[in-house]
Amino acid sequence: MSHSNKLVILDRDGVINYDSDEYVKTTDEWIPLPGSIEALGKLTKAGYKIAIATNQSGIARGYFSLETLNNMHKKMVDLATEVGAKIDYIAFCPHGPDDHCDCRKPLPGLIHQIEQALDFSAADCFMVGDSLRDLQAGQAAGLKAALVLTGKGQKTLDKSQGLENVAVFNDLNDFVDHLLN
């Protein structure tokens, strides 16, 4: 398994696209946050691999289908491709909170899936999220945690629990600019 810290793992909703308390249920509802797609382009051009780790319990809850999720991800990948970004892997947990899976964040199963798929150790890389469970999943797998204040990020910061050793950024673009400078 190759190892370098040139991998960034991102949560999806609230980091790359607008989040919704009612769930992002359709491709039309999947709307990128300002600057987020461009930030992915900067990462790729700087030699970083990009992976996404996202809880999508809306599938278990019957709010949308796997086909719809795949279409949302196709939209995200197409937008990323237009700016020269490559999303190397998308890992998602389709389960509900009571399914006792090992992939629902804050458990680190999605990160292990990404490591296996890319044959790449994520240790010491960054996990970027807007909720505490994103950061905890990353920390459980030996990653550094970065909180963005988009999505639920400001609420997470206001609660201020579990944020020792967590870097805080305004949004994904702010994180990327700090990482690359």
Are 44 and 180 contacting, i.e. CB atoms less than 8 angstroms apart? no
Residue 17, classed as helix, strand or coil, is: strand
55, 48, 47: which is closest to 11 by C-alpha? 55
Q: How far apart (Å, rounded) are the C-alpha atoms in residues 36 and 17? A: 8
Query: CA torsion 44→4→174→127, rounded to 10°?
Result: 110
Q: How far apart are CA 72 and CA 170, in angstroms?
A: 24
Between strands 144-148 and 49-55, the pairing is: unpaired
- CA-CA distance, 131 to 136, in Å (whole number)? 9
- Name the residues annotated as catalytic: 11, 13
Cα angle, residue 133 at apex, residues 84 and 51 outer, rounded to 5°: 20
